[in-house]
Amino acid sequence: MRLGLVIDMDTCVGCHACAVACKQWNTSGTTGALTDYRPYGEDPSGVWFNRVRHYEVGDYPNNKTVNIPMSCMHCQHADCVNVCPTGASYKRPEDGIVLVDQDKCMGCNYCAWACPYGARELDREDGVMKKCTLCVDRIYDEQLPPEERQPACVITCPAHARFFGDFDDDNSEVSRLVRERGGVKQMPELGYKPVNTYLPPRITRPIPIDDVRANRVVSSVKDWVNKMVAR
């Protein structure tokens, strides 16, 4: 098995619900707590397994906002595991999930240096490295109904932009989406072979905006009057 996520950059609205749901589930999960520093202070900070960033792609007027949620890619060539001197970081052979054994970690930050995706964050309170577990304490939990055996971020996404599944299975939903939508990987040139795959925005007909208001004499006068009245 090669478990991972598919994230649809077309439908993601950048609401950060996945990041918050992740924090909520995992702070009381197996690798919790996700410590917050100065939570009610001027500059609240803390550990997150999932972060959403927002980008502008293209130049005005042919530009577009794209939201990119990022968590651990559970890379096939996970250098974070190779560089770890203590053996705290490991990649599970059975499903490819990359985890940190917090009892072994010495907090040297070396794995975070080796990760190009910023997936690992040191918990300064606990002194150990923390990262996305792909909700390993949830996806195998037989106490939960089958539809809930998915990572918290996937279940919570209101835009249905996140999918979880086995990339080794050609018939899984994630494999089908990657195939049909032309899934892409971040920084493939580094050779980490990330499992998580991103679906590019769909190519659609632009929404016409020039016919919303015709540029006529009457509307010009109206605009001028409105401006004067407003003053």
Are 160 and 11 in contact by the 8 Å Cβ rule? The answer is yes
Q: Which residues of 166-204 are buried (b: 16+ CB within 10 A; e: fewer)?
A: bbeeeebebbebbeebebebeeeeeebebbbbbbeeeee
- The whole-angstrom separation of Cα 197 and Cα 4 is 8
Which one among 10, 86, 92, 95 touches other proteins, defined by CB under 8 A?
86
79-84: Cβ within 8 A, 24+ apart: 79/114, 79/115, 79/192, 80/111, 80/112, 80/114, 80/115, 80/119, 80/120, 81/111, 82/114, 83/110, 83/111, 83/113, 83/114, 84/110, 84/111
Strand partners, 5: 164
Residue 110 sits in the site that holds other proteins (CB under 8 A): yes
Residue 133 CA, distance from chain mean position: 13
Residue 107 sits in the site that holds other proteins (CB under 8 A): yes
Residue 53 sits in the site that holds other proteins (CB under 8 A): yes
Residue 198 sits in the site that holds other proteins (CB under 8 A): yes
- Of 81 and 97, nearer to other proteins (C-beta) is 81
- Of 119 and 139, nearer to other proteins (C-beta) is 119
Are 128 and 110 in contact by the 8 Å Cβ rule? The answer is no
What's the min distance (Å) between Cβ of 148 and other proteins?
Answer: 27
Residue 153 sits in the site that holds other proteins (CB under 8 A): no
- Of 118 and 158, nearer to other proteins (C-beta) is 118
- Of 188 and 225, nearer to other proteins (C-beta) is 188
- DSSP-based three-state secondary structure for 208: coil
* Peptide bond before residue 61 is cis, with ω within 30 degrees of 0: yes
Residue 10 sits in the site that holds other proteins (CB under 8 A): no
Residue 16 sits in the site that holds other proteins (CB under 8 A): yes
Residue 158 sits in the site that holds other proteins (CB under 8 A): no
Q: Which stretch binds other proteins (CB under 8 A): 26-34, 117-125, 170-178, 208-216?
A: 117-125
Which one among 5, 22, 70, 195 touches other proteins, defined by CB under 8 A?
70
Would you tell me which residues interact with other proteins (CB under 8 A)?
9, 16, 19, 42-45, 47-48, 51-60, 63, 65-66, 68, 70, 79, 81-88, 104-110, 112-118, 121-122, 124, 126-128, 184-192, 198, 200, 231
